[in-house]
Amino acid sequence: MEIYTSYYANVRKLRANNIIPVGISIGIPKYFYGHSLRYLAPTREMLHLGEIEYTPLYMEILEKVSLERLRNDLAIISHNEGVKDIALLCYEKPGDFCHRRLFADWLKEKTGYEVKEFGYIEKKNPVAIQNSLF
């Protein structure tokens, strides 16, 4: 099973690629009818905080997460849907600060497993090089 992160606006693309969308946010869009792991969501109070204040509070939430429970929940969702890959969703666009990427970093630190953002290619600033005219 591959685990990705993504955002709710990508649900159709995820399903078209046989990836199960799983919400990890407090609120779920009205159009989203899928699985949810709310124990990976931030609190409502955190939504109004900046990145500096938000990050340690979200890390406290993750430190209470049982990796065994998470592994079991993902396996059950994957097995029940008959699809092997899963994407954990919230609202923010790729590249914006959000808890799903904090989760991805946390999971890599705890397990060594790298969670990629579905369909996102990081844009790097090209370096201009002055070529010689002669």
Structure confidence by residue, pLDDT tens digits, 22-59: 999 999 999 888 899 999 999 999 999 999 999 999 99
pLDDT score at 120: 61
The two three-digit tokens of residue 41, written as one number:
């969501």
The Cα–Cα gap between 113 and 121 comes to 19
> 121-131: per-residue pLDDT in tens?
544 555 545 55
Q: Is the pLDDT of residue 104 over 90?
A: yes
DSSP 30-80: TT--SEE-GGGSPPGGGGGS-HHHHHHHHHHHHHTS-HHHHHHHHHHHHHH
Torsion, CA 104, CA 102, CA 38, CA 81, rounded to 10: -20
Residue 114 · residue 108 · CB < 8 Å: yes
pTM value > 0.75: yes
Domain boundaries, the chain: 3-117
pLDDT score at 134: 45
Q: Is the pLDDT of residue 98 over 70?
A: yes
Three-class DSSP category at 111: helix
Residue 5's identity, in one-letter code, is: T
Residue 62 CA to its chain's centroid (Å) = 13
pLDDT score at 34: 86
Q: What percent of the chain has pLDDT over 90?
A: 73
